Amino acid sequence: MGGEVLVLGIVGLLTWLIPFIGLPIPLIGLVWGIVLLRRKPPKKLMLYSGLVMCSLGLFLSAGYSVVTIMVNTSPTTTTGTDLPGNGGSSPPPVDPGPVEWTADGEITVGEYDKSKKFGNSYEIFWNSDGEHIYVGIRVTTSGWVAVGLQLDNRTTTDVDMILGFVDVAGKVTIYDLIYPEYPGLLNPQDVVLGGSNDILLPAGTEGEGVEVSEDEEGPVYTTIEFMRKLNTGDQYDQVFYEGPNTIIWAYGREDSRDTAAFEQDYGTLVVD
């Protein structure tokens, strides 16, 4: 008697990492060994060896089970290798969804419903609430950026143009212009011709209807944001109609509206 306890102890030491097997086997061996020990068997050395092995196997199996439960139920944490730039996988970017439009010279994710890129450097973003249009323009340049609206006749006659830039001192300049010839050369402001400046400023901000930012590190980006009515009623302004609108996009290399465009072309902007 005692040999079966020794066998159970050996099996328990070999199987303590196996779920549902490693724990019951040494437990059965330990209970059975205690029962035999009370009967005072003749082969006590074999029985004692089996009891020691069963006890060790039970301890190892129970400890392994506790650690496994703690690991599986603990909150998931992000390790250093999960962070961007540390060689691990990072979670996909989260789109914050629509956010409130703000004329701050920064085009943020969710601020605009639509966007379009023209040429190599010109990007335009826009929203409409049915009465106003909200526009952001971002261009890789340190000079002026502009967008013009016209009737779909593919001419540059009487183009309603909004042009802005920021100088090296950070001063913001914005014009509501009429282009009787072509973008970039000696074009009068609406107010000079008897019209009005129809670039509107959101409530709660200060300025002249526009905020502009210019990043001087690395590639230089000039960004302007503005708001105006779809139909201003000004004789020198074109109307943003629902559906496709023909635009002229343009930008220059100098902080002056009297310098020629570096790049310009026609495009389409769809207003919903």
CATH code, domain carrying 232: 2.60.40.1190
Residues 6+ apart with CB under 8 A from 255: 142, 143, 144, 165, 166, 167, 168, 173
Residue 84 belongs to a domain: no
CB 166 within 8 A of CB 173: yes
33 and 124 belong to one structural domain: no
Q: How far apart are CA 147 and CA 268, in angstroms?
A: 11
Residue 189 belongs to a domain: yes
Per-residue pLDDT reduced to its tens digit, 85-115 = 334 444 444 444 578 888 888 888 899 999 9
Residues 6+ apart with CB under 8 A from 55: 26, 30
134 and 207 belong to one structural domain: yes
190 and 239 belong to one structural domain: yes
CB crowding 13-38: b at 16 or more within 10 Å, else e: bebbeeeeebbebbbbbbebbeebbe
Give the residue, 71 or 137, on which the prediction is more confident: 137
pTM over 0.95: no
Question: Which helix (H) or strand (E) segment is 213 a member of?
Answer: strand 210-215
The amino acid present at 90, given as its one-letter code, is: S
Residue 100 belongs to a domain: no
Please identify, among 73, 103, 133, the residue that sits at the C-terminal boundary of a domain: 73
Q: How far apart are CA 82 and CA 232, in angstroms?
A: 52
In the predicted model, is pLDDT for residue 25 greater than 50?
yes
170 and 264 belong to one structural domain: yes
182 and 63 belong to one structural domain: no
In the predicted model, is pLDDT for residue 17 greater than 70?
no
Residue 80 belongs to a domain: no
69 and 128 belong to one structural domain: no
Give the residue, 201 or 255, on which the prediction is more confident: 255
Report how far Cα 206 is from the mean position of its chain's Cα atoms.
28
139 and 259 belong to one structural domain: yes
Residue 93 belongs to a domain: no
151 and 267 belong to one structural domain: yes
In the predicted model, is pLDDT for residue 42 greater than 70?
no
128 and 260 belong to one structural domain: yes
67 and 10 belong to one structural domain: yes
Q: Which of 52-56, 142-146, 199-203 has the lowest mean pLDDT?
A: 199-203
Residue 89 belongs to a domain: no
| Of the ranges 31-45, 87-101, 142-156, 258-272, the best mean pLDDT one | 258-272
Tell me the average pLDDT of the chain: 76
> Domain containing 39: what range?
3-73
Residue 59 belongs to a domain: yes
With a pLDDT cut of 70, the percent of the chain lying above it is 72
Residue 107 belongs to a domain: no
- Determine the pLDDT at residue 191: 87
- Determine the pLDDT at residue 77: 40
Please identify, among 17, 42, 73, the residue that sits at the C-terminal boundary of a domain: 73
DSSP 8-class letter at 81: G
Give the residue, 225 or 18, on which the prediction is more confident: 225
58 and 130 belong to one structural domain: no
**How many separate domains does the chain show?**
2
Q: Which of 99-108, 138-147, 176-185, 242-251 has the lowest mean pLDDT?
A: 176-185
Local confidence band at 82 (pLDDT 50, 70, 90 cut-offs): very low
Nearest to 166 by CA among 259, 105, 255: 255
Question: Which helix (H) or strand (E) segment is 194 a member of?
Answer: none
- Determine the pLDDT at residue 78: 40
- Determine the pLDDT at residue 85: 37
250 and 197 belong to one structural domain: yes
Please identify, among 50, 73, 96, the residue that sits at the C-terminal boundary of a domain: 73
Q: How far apart are CA 48 and CA 53, in angstroms?
A: 9
